[in-house]
């Protein structure tokens, strides 16, 4: 292990990775995947990293080896466990009133935002800040706190407003459009510090923005692709935050997300009927046949299978896909769509599937294994977006030999090289205008190439051979952490790393000196 893996003390860097979701404990989108894979990659590099997320029912059910570390006066309990896949240590804030409820992490079963989301995630951030400032009561304290998206935006603010020694902070913007904006009176009623309520704090056009707090107070900012890092500095893509981001551009870096190449691996994926790889894609035929049976598609169709696995939202151009379906199906393709989102779009897609039986299949919801099967079966992957911070599904598709049709925005521009314009090694097809006509025209180019099997295999092979693993990106985060690690190692205690197995002897309860709201002040 080289010295680049260590902090100023000569010991592995201690990092607290705070997130609102993390696969397989809780997931609504790409944040959940990235929050699982990046800490695991950093741990493999020798970083002493522990994740922290709210104690949702799904997280409490899935985490292994849980034990209680601290009971918070306001009602929450800090647990320590491990993820069931990577074995990464993870803190869970078990606060039944706030986090144990039906529905998802941020919305109820009817897809309405929880009305107390500000209270929920302010409590989570303050608990994480207290842990970072005082240790977990079980022998561990971080040098670096890495917060992610608006759910953890108050965490860098609480640390910055703390008067004593504190860990350094990094804040990653996974999607600038999701800002965690609430009424100022709601923030004031929670007793948040006055410094946060003004324009120099988290006030944002008369409201209170958790995302602005993270951007304004974290010592370093990252986002999930180089192109998106440039785009969000513009009024067109800055979502009202572009002025603040331009002021902090010297602290902002775009680092392309990776994917978990062990989890997303067609050569060893248990969800598939037969493994395959870039050198031998015969297993894709088996996957296509199985998916056609599963979804009720015509098994004798000769054209390519076009698959879309995405949130059914305006950002992901689900409305454009819906409008383009007749033109796509006229090209002799079959289409399979899987995702959830806008109820009106869900209803429109269901109705379209009834109009085109055997040619169009729609599965509303999200099932991880089905997503794997669909991408393995696909010849063409629909991954268009009006804007796209990174685009993990496009990376998954390419790894499974599904050639993407997409737009060159954000991380997609950093990922897909158009077959007709790339100097060498084209890996997909791109189109500029977010319209049904442009989408259908781009699919037509792909269908034309599909009719030339040797040419199609060259593109497919180039896509499958792209390296989207986390190692390179994780090393960039490690360099960022090292630059931020406190130079005076005595400022933070040298404590032992978290331990789950074997369970330690029972210890007295550890009660923090203050509730979350008091700690924030």
For 426-495, the DSSP string reads --BEE-SS-SHHHHHHHHHHHHHHHTSHHHHHHHHHHHHT----SHHHHHHHHHHHHHHS-S-GGGS---
Q: Which H or E run contains 17?
A: strand 14-18
- Find out whether 446 and 420 touch, Cβ atoms under 8 Å: no
User: pLDDT at position 509, please?
Assistant: 29
Give yes or no for residue 154 having a pLDDT over 50: yes
The tokens describing 148, both together, are: 């992610």
Q: How far apart are CA 217 and CA 502, in angstroms?
A: 38
The tokens describing 341, both together, are: 């989102």
**Closest C-alpha to 28, from 373, 340, 239:** 340
Query: Considering the domain boundaries, does residue 384 fall inside one?
Result: yes
**Are residues 286 and 209 part of one domain?**
no
Cis peptide before 56 (omega within 30 of 0): no
Query: Considering the domain boundaries, does residue 263 fall inside one?
Result: no
User: pLDDT at position 6, please?
Assistant: 52
pLDDT band for position 165 (cuts 50, 70, 90): confident
pLDDT band for position 162 (cuts 50, 70, 90): confident
**Are residues 356 and 250 part of one domain?**
no
- Find out whether 375 and 397 touch, Cβ atoms under 8 Å: yes
State the average pLDDT over residues 505-510. Answer: 27
Number of domains in the chain: 2
Three-class DSSP category at 408: coil
State the average pLDDT over residues 165-187. Answer: 96
- The region of weakest confidence among 137-141, 235-239, 364-368 is 137-141
Token look-up 């893996």 returns 5
Give yes or no for residue 15 having a pLDDT over 90: yes
**Are residues 516 and 440 part of one domain?**
no
DSSP string, 244-269: HHHHTGGGEEE------TTTS-TTS-
**Are residues 358 and 249 part of one domain?**
no
Choosing from 421, 444, 464, the residue where a domain stops is 464
**Are residues 440 and 310 part of one domain?**
yes
Q: How far apart are CA 173 and CA 161, in angstroms?
A: 21
Query: Considering the domain boundaries, does residue 492 fall inside one?
Result: yes
Choosing from 429, 444, 464, the residue where a domain stops is 464
Q: Which H or E run contains 188?
A: helix 184-189
Query: Considering the domain boundaries, does residue 251 fall inside one?
Result: yes
Q: How far apart are CA 86 and CA 277, in angstroms?
A: 24
Query: Considering the domain boundaries, does residue 8 fall inside one?
Result: no
Percentages helix, strand, coil for the chain (3-state, rounded to 5) are: 40, 20, 45
**Are residues 210 and 195 part of one domain?**
yes
- The region of weakest confidence among 237-246, 263-272, 511-520 is 511-520
Query: Considering the domain boundaries, does residue 182 fall inside one?
Result: yes
The tokens describing 261, both together, are: 């190449």
**Closest C-alpha to 457, from 218, 278, 327:** 278
**Are residues 366 and 324 part of one domain?**
yes
Query: Considering the domain boundaries, does residue 30 fall inside one?
Result: yes
**Residues in contact with 467: Cβ distance below 8 Å, sequence separation at least 6, in sequence order:** none
User: Judging by beta carbons within 10 Å of its beta carbon (0-12, 13-18, 19+), is residue 332 exposed, middle or buried?
Assistant: middle
* Percent of the chain residues past pLDDT 70, beyond the cut: 91
Give yes or no for residue 2 having a pLDDT over 80: no
**Are residues 84 and 110 part of one domain?**
yes
Choosing from 464, 479, 507, the residue where a domain stops is 464
Strand intervals (E) in 344-442: 360-364, 380-382, 403-406, 429-430
Task: Indicate which CATH number applies to the domain containing 381.
Answer: 3.40.50.2000
**Are residues 185 and 57 part of one domain?**
yes
State the average pLDDT over residues 100-106. Answer: 94
Residue 436's CB: how many other CB atoms inside 10 A? 19
**Closest C-alpha to 12, from 399, 327, 478:** 478
User: pLDDT at position 249, please?
Assistant: 97
**Are residues 483 and 456 part of one domain?**
no
Query: Considering the domain boundaries, does residue 265 fall inside one?
Result: no
pLDDT band for position 425 (cuts 50, 70, 90): confident
Query: CA dist 376 to 268, 301, 311, Å?
Result: 12, 17, 19
- Find out whether 88 and 62 touch, Cβ atoms under 8 Å: no
- Residue 355: give the domain boundaries: 282-464
The tokens describing 40, both together, are: 């695991």
**Are residues 111 and 202 part of one domain?**
yes
> Chain-wide mean pLDDT for the chain?
91
**Are residues 140 and 51 part of one domain?**
yes
User: pLDDT at position 190, please?
Assistant: 94
pLDDT band for position 285 (cuts 50, 70, 90): very high
pLDDT band for position 29 (cuts 50, 70, 90): confident
Whole-structure pTM value: 0.88
Q: How far apart are CA 386 and CA 105, in angstroms?
A: 25
């Amino acid at each position: 292990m080289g010295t680049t893996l260590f902090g100023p003390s000569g010991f592995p860097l201690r990092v607290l990775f705070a997130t609102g979701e993390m696969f397989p404990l809780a997931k609504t989108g790409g944040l959940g995947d990235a929050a699982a894979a990046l800490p695991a990659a950093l741990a493999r590099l020798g970083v002493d990293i522990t994740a922290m997320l709210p104690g949702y029912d799904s997280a409490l059910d899935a985490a292994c080896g849980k034990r209680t570390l601290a009971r918070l006066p306001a009602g929450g309990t800090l647990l320590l466990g491990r993820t069931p896949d990577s074995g990464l240590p993870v803190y869970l804030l078990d606060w039944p009133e706030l986090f144990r409820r039906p529905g998802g992490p941020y919305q109820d079963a009817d897809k309405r935002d929880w009305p107390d989301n500000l209270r929920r995630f302010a409590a989570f951030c303050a608990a994480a800040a207290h842990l970072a400032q005082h240790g977990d009561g079980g022998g561990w304290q971080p040098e670096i706190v890495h917060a992610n998206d608006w759910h953890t935006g108050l965490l860098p603010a609480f640390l910055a407003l703390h008067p004593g020694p504190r860990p350094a902070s990094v804040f990653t913007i996974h999607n600038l459009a999701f800002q965690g904006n609430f009424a100022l009176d709601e923030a004031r009623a929670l007793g948040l510090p006055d410094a946060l309520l003004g324009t120099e704090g988290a006030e944002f056009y008369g409201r209170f923005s958790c995302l602005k707090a993270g951007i304004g107070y974290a010592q370093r900012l990252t986002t999930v692709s180089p192109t998106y890092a440039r785009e969000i500095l513009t009024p067109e893509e800055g979502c009202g935050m572009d002025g603040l981001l331009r002021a902090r551009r010297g602290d902002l870096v775009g680092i392309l997300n990776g994917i978990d190449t062990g989890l997303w691996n067609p050569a060893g994926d248990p969800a598939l009927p037969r493994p395959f790889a870039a050198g031998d894609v015969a297993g894709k035929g088996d996957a296509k046949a199985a998916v056609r049976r599963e979804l009720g598609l015509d098994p004798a169709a000769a054209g390519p299978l076009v698959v879309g696995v995405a949130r059914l939202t305006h950002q992901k151009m689900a409305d454009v896909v819906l409008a383009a379906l007749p033109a796509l199906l006229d090209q002799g393709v079959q289409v399979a769509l899987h995702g959830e989102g806008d109820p009106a779009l869900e209803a429109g897609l269901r109705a379209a599937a009834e109009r085109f039986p055997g040619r169009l299949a729609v599965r509303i919801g999200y099932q991880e294994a089905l997503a794997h099967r669909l991408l393995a079966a696909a010849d063409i992957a629909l991954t268009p977006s009006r804007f796209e911070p990174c685009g993990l599904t496009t990376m998954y598709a390419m790894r499974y030999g599904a050639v993407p049709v997409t737009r060159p925005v954000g991380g997609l521009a950093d990922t897909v090289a158009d077959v007709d314009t790339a100097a060498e090694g084209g890996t997909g097809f791109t189109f500029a205008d977010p319209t049904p006509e442009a989408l259908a025209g781009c699919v037509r180019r792909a269908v034309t190439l599909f009719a030339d099997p040797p040419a199609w295999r060259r593109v497919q092979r180039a896509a499958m051979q792209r390296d989207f693993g986390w190692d390179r990106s994780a090393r960039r985060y490690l360099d960022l952490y090292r630059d931020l690690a406190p130079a005076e190692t005595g400022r933070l205690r040298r404590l032992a790393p978290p331990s789950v197995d074997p369970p330690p002897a029972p210890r007295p309860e550890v009660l923090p000196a203050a509730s979350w709201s008091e700690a924030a002040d």
